[in-house]
Structure 1
Amino acid sequence: MKTVSEIKFEKIIKDGFHEILKPLGFKKKANNFYLKLDSVGQIINVQKNAFGNKDSISFTINTGIFVPEYWLAFYNYSDKGLPGYPTEPECLIRERIGSLRNQHDTWYHIKERTDEHYLIAEMRKNLTEFILPYFNRLDSTEKMLQELDKADMIMTPFGKLIVYGELKQFDKAKREYKGLLNNKTSPDFLMKVREYGQKYGLDK
């Protein structure tokens, strides 16, 4: 039998997220929402705190921009092709709601006495005022590249290098390559950087 907190959490997912995202074309899977566009994908992940329990649930919101070229170069270990429903950790660009709101890491809390209607309204505000406008700035390969050029975003250390290389933006790839080589980090890291440099012909 579900607890009051679990029922409230499910209502927040349904009324705070699904009702807005479904008409926009987002597909729901568990507590994830995915929209496949022509050249990129957009993911919203509602992440529960692993240390919570059935009566005390905490959650935050993760967002991701899925770039097929990056995934195929970095994650396609078994050559299975693109996933039908990618996950947020596999995305090139990842941001949490706290960052999008320009505030500290933000978590929301549900207990038996929590007013779920307040949290539903807050989730709708998160979507309409922060997440969806952010997604609109990143809804194509061209926009994604523009954002990469000007922003310091959360991604793997090789993210920009791989995307620039895969999309044949070789001047930008070379700049990123030189920057990574100058980081003076571990030998394994530098060896990986040089492997990408060879793959994209950046040593010439």
Structure 2
Amino acid sequence: MAVFKELSKVLTPILKTMGFSKKGNSFYLKVGKNYGVINLQKSRESEKDIIKFTINFGVYSDVLGQLQYGYNSSAKPGIEQCHWGARVGEFMPRSPDYWWYFNASDNLSSLTSNVMEAV
């Protein structure tokens, strides 16, 4: 678990320079009242020493949100509330669903570079 939190900590300043803010396991880019979302999703198959995770992308439209029941323009949307979404694997050749595996003895810097290249 600590490995996953450590990855999130390392990614935070990098994504912050791109205009993203962080809440939980998601990073938000606000444009007007719309949001771009990058979400780190840890798999239920993760174990204490080996973390399995993927990245979800989402776009939330304020205009479409106003048409939905339960609209709250003051709250950041969760990845599941986005009007468009995709997993990182959809943008990778021959990888419709891509997951990283990482353990405490792996090189965090190398993983961070790999994740940022994918983002």
TM-superposition CA deviations, 1:47-84 (whole Å, max 9, x none): 0001222222100000001111222223x33xx53242
Q: Of 111, 132, 136, which residue of structure 1 is paired with 2:103?
A: 111
Identity of aligned residues (%): 28
**1:116-195, aligned counterparts within 5 Å?**
116-127=108-119
Matched residues in 2 for 1:89 and 1:102: separation? 25
The 1:40–1:103 alpha-carbon spacing in structure 2 relative to 1, beyond 3 Å, is farther
1:39 to partner: Cα distance: 5.0
Alpha-carbon offset, residue 38 of structure 1 = 1.7
| Structure-2 separation of matches of 1:26 and 1:71 | 21
Cα deviations by residue, 1:5-30 (Å, 9 ceiling, x for unpaired): x3332222122x21221122211011
With a CA cutoff of 8 Å and minimum separation of 6, indicate the structure with the bigger relative contact order.
Answer: 2
Partners of 2:17 and 2:107 in 1: how far apart?
Answer: 26
The structure with the largest strand share of the pair is 2
Partner of residue 13, structure 2: 19
Cα deviation per residue 1:91-149 (whole Å; 9 max; x = unaligned)?
1110111112233111011223322222111012122xxxxxxxxxxxxxxxxxxxxxx
List gaps (5 residues or longer) in structure 1.
1-5, 128-204
SS of 1:51's equivalent in the other structure is: coil
Residue equivalent to 1:197: none
Q: So what's the TM-score if we normalise by structure 2?
A: 0.86
Q: TM-score, normalised by structure 1?
A: 0.53
1:85 is matched with 76
Q: Is the 8 A contact 2:42 2:52 kept in 1?
A: yes
In 2, Cα distance between the equivalents of 1:126 and 1:70? 28
Match for residue 86 of structure 2 among 92, 95, 105: 95
Greater helix share, 1 or 2?
1
Whether 1:28 aligns to 2:19 is no
Number of residue-to-residue matches in the alignment: 118
Contact 2:3/2:51 (8 A) holds in 1 = no
Q: In the aligned structure 1, how far is the partner of 2:49 from the partner of 2:111?
A: 16
Task: Summarize deviations over 1:184-204 as a string: whole Å, max 9, x none.
Answer: xxxxxxxxxxxxxxxxxxxxx
